[in-house]
Amino acid sequence: MGIEDDDGNDTGALFQIEEPVAPMRKTTVPGRGIGIDLGTTHSLVAVAPCGEAPRTLGDADGRALLPSVVSYIGETPDVGWDARAAQLSAPTRVVSSVKRFMGRGTADIEFQHPYRIAALGDGAADVVRLEVGQGRVVTPMEVSARILEVLAARAEEALGETPTGAVITVPAYFDEAQRQATKDAGRIAGLTVYRLLAEPTAAALAYGLDKGGQGLFAVYDLGGGTFDISVLRLRDGVFQVLATGGDSALGGDDFDRAVGEHLLREAGVHTPTVLQREQARVAARDAKETLSTAETVSVQWEGGPALTLTRGQLNAVIGPIAERTAAPCRGALKDAGVRARDLDGVVLVGGSTRTPLVRNLVESIFRRKPLSDIDPDQVVAYGAAIVADELSGYAREGATLLDVAPLSLGLETMGGIVEKIIPRNAAIPIAARQVFTNYSEKQTGMMIHVVQGERELADDCRSLARFDLSGIPRLPPSMARIEITFELDADALLTVTARELMTGVKQTVEVKPTYGLSDEDVDALVIESLDNADEDFARRNLAEARVELGRVVLAVSAALTEVGDVEGILVAEDRAAIVSALADGEAAMAPTGPTEHHEIVAVRERLEHVSEAFARRRMERALLAGMEGMSLSEVENTIAADDTLDAKRGSHEAEQIEKI
């Protein structure tokens, strides 16, 4: 509290310049967002600055793919091709496929891996830590961060400037812990993570599938070691993942191994050495890639015979393996409750989808030609780059409404006034909460009316949902605390939760994607709010004045009833004055009452004035009664608790909650 001037002049508060409320947006520079596909076997970085077409960024040798492998053999970690080459020589000190460990506890690791997992210290969080030699212990987040750093450095070189933020893709099935671990990795790498993006959504965005506004899509992602299938619904420009499926131990590497074994048999090698097997595998991979376009290929490795492989032979070997992707595809369609013929498109992701046999298989499963124009290794990074460009503050043409709340989201409060919880243009996902209170002690429920728009009164906004929170304990006015949380997730789904903090009663409503609105609609609504600003403010002021008067009338009437004629508190003369002021107050609140908020304020102030002495005497008595038997420290604690509450109640700004 400031020091009051002696003569009581209000000199006004002193203000400081604050940081903008949405911290995510403060460092954005249009065109300086990067998109990262942090893959199990390979990672990529792409940019699409200021509306340009996305492009991936290569290393000094022009290679876009960076093996997701980190070597801890040397003093400083080594990332990429050299690390991968060193893997055979020191399998426990070179970390690959670290994505499988992200966000997992030690008990979750049920798959095969060559690493030594450090024992958990007492009371330590259950995070997997890998022992990588010489006493060094690393978390999966740190390993991922090393990969991200290399990609970020690439981007910095290409852009000529430090990227201001990144969009990192994650599998659609990643849970909260895995997503958080990925965000942490970004933070460790010194990146501002604008947001995470589901890999299938990124692929769909790279193809511009969001432009149609509506649709059902499948994304078939066959990578080196994993297979994922996702079914997405696009509604009103927002993608929603309907179902996912796959096989975490099925990929192009299985093709290479099988073809390698076939080649060894052809070469008459029945008990291959480790070296021969590796040579055959590499030859098989090269042959497979050549056969994506050619019909036959000659194969030979050092010390081996000259062989020929036809596409027919290749297909015979890999066909049964590829066929294993069919069941998860059908399962995902079933889970999503859609039929193959309902789909509007199928997107291919992952290098293994270059194989003609796989494309034909996908076509037969989904009964349509899959989209394959974009390099399937790069398509996810492209989508991430497009979203990163938008989040960096560049308004791309035809951009989806995915990333910001186009209109404010709020609640109707007493008097039909709108309290905005999530402001217009807030970057999503976002969560914000605000504590509300009761209006009268008779109130045992609260009607929550969720509205969208820029106007001051709920009637002028778009109504999204209404629900009731019942079971609020009977408490004196302003004593109940109801916390309302608005969560707008990455898919623009709004979840509103109301919770009474004393009893914990809770009620939640989910509002399905809210944006049945075109850009023009949004602009029109904003302009409308400007055109009506003066009138809106007047109406809001009037409504607020009425609410405030109503509150005082209620409180004073309740107090009058309560005290009855208790001696010494209220003399007849004072009572008559209060009763008369109360009648004025009720008249002022009637529909026929004044329409200028100043008049209502005056009525309220008169009522407060005549009842002031009465209120003070009542307060003193209550305090005396309440403090009886309490020690001084208890009294102080009670007051401190009340102050905290008041501070919480008094803040008329939603508090933002840090979320994804």
Partner 1 sequence: MDTPEPQVEAPPPKADIAADTIVVTARAAKVMRGQLEKRGTPEGAIRFGIRGGGCTGYSYMFQFEDGDPRGSDTVVEADGGVRVYVDPKSMRLIKGTKIDFETGLRGHGFRFDNPNTSTSCGCGESISF
What is the C-alpha separation between 37 and 56, in angstroms, rounded? 10
Catalytic site residue from 78, 99, 412, 500: 99
The residue to which tokens 């850009």 are assigned: 519
420 catalytic residue (yes or no): no
The residue among 509 and 538 lying less far from partner 1, judged by its C-beta, is 538
- Residue by residue, DSSP assigns 343-405 as -SEEEEESGGGGSHHHHHHHHHHHTSPPB-SS-TTTHHHHHHHHHHHHHTT---TT--TTSB-
Burial class (CB in 10 A: 0-12, 13-18, 19+), 621: middle
Catalytic residue among 78, 142, 184, 199: 199
One-letter amino acid at 67 equals: P
Closest CB to partner 1 among residues 365, 405: 405
The single residue of 142, 184, 221, 377 carrying the catalytic annotation is 221
Question: Which residues between 479 and 538 bind partner 1 (CB under 8 A)?
Answer: 529-530, 533-534, 537
CB of 16 to partner 1, least distance (A): 6
According to the binding rule CB under 8 A, does residue 123 interact with partner 1? no
Candidates 18, 110, 122, 573: give the one binding partner 1 (CB under 8 A). 18
The residues in 434-463 that bind partner 1, with binding defined as CB under 8 A, are 456
Kindly report the length of the chain: 660
In the shown chain, the binding pattern of residues 528 to 567 toward partner 1, with x for contact by CB under 8 A and - for none, equals -xx--xx--x--xx--x--x--------------------
Which window, 13-21, 94-102, 196-204, 509-517, contacts partner 1 (CB under 8 A)?
13-21
Give the count of residues interacting with partner 1 (CB under 8 A). Answer: 43
Q: How far is the CB of 10 from partner 1 (least distance, A)?
A: 5
Angular region, 334: left φ>0, alpha ψ -120 to 50, beta rest: alpha
Token code pair at residue 290: 């050549």
Q: Which residues contact 79 (CB under 8 A, 6 or more apart)?
A: 66, 69, 70, 71, 146, 147, 149, 150
CB of residue 421 to partner 1, shortest distance in Å: 10
* Structure token digits, residue 47: 């940019």
- Closer residue to partner 1 in complex, CB, 28/507: 28
Query: Is the sign of the CA dihedral 241, 247, 251, 255 positive or negative?
Result: negative
* Catalytic residue check, 26: no
Q: Are the C-beta atoms of residues 213 and 517 closer than 8 Å to each other?
A: no
Stretch that binds partner 1, among 10-18, 382-390, 485-493, 610-618 (CB under 8 A): 10-18
User: At 463, phi and psi to the nearest 5?
Assistant: -85, 125
Distance CA 233, CA 341 (A): 14
Q: Which is nearer to partner 1, 15 or 303 (CB)?
A: 15
28: nearest Cα among 384, 391, 386 = 391
Residue 393 touching partner 1 (CB under 8 A): yes
Provide the 10 A C-beta neighbour count for residue 557.
15
When asked if residue 5 is in the footprint of partner 1 (CB under 8 A), the reply is yes
What lies within 8 Å, CB to CB, of 256 at 6+ separation is 281, 284, 285, 288
Indicate whether 2 belongs to the interface with partner 1 (CB under 8 A): yes
Distance of closest approach, residue 518 Cβ to partner 1, in angstroms: 19
* Known catalytic residue at 99: yes
Distance of CA 356 to the CA centre of its chain: 37
Structural contact between residues 446 and 438, judged by C-beta atoms closer than 8 angstroms: yes
14 makes contact with partner 1 (CB under 8 A): yes
* Candidates 112-120, 194-202, 411-419, 507-515; binding stretch for partner 1 (CB under 8 A): 411-419
282 part of the interface to partner 1, by CB under 8 A: no
Q: How far is the CB of 103 from partner 1 (least distance, A)?
A: 32
Nearer Cβ to partner 1, position 2 or 320? 2
Q: Which of 180, 192, 413, 495 binds partner 1 (CB under 8 A)?
A: 413
Cβ at position 175, least distance to partner 1 in Å: 34
Q: Which residues of 582-601 are buried (b: 16+ CB within 10 A; e: fewer)?
A: bebbeebbeeebbeebeebb
Annotated catalytic residues are 37, 99, 199, 221
Name the residues that contact partner 1, by CB under 8 A.
1-3, 5-7, 9-21, 25-28, 393, 413, 417-420, 456, 529-530, 533-534, 537, 540-541, 544, 547, 598, 650, 652-653
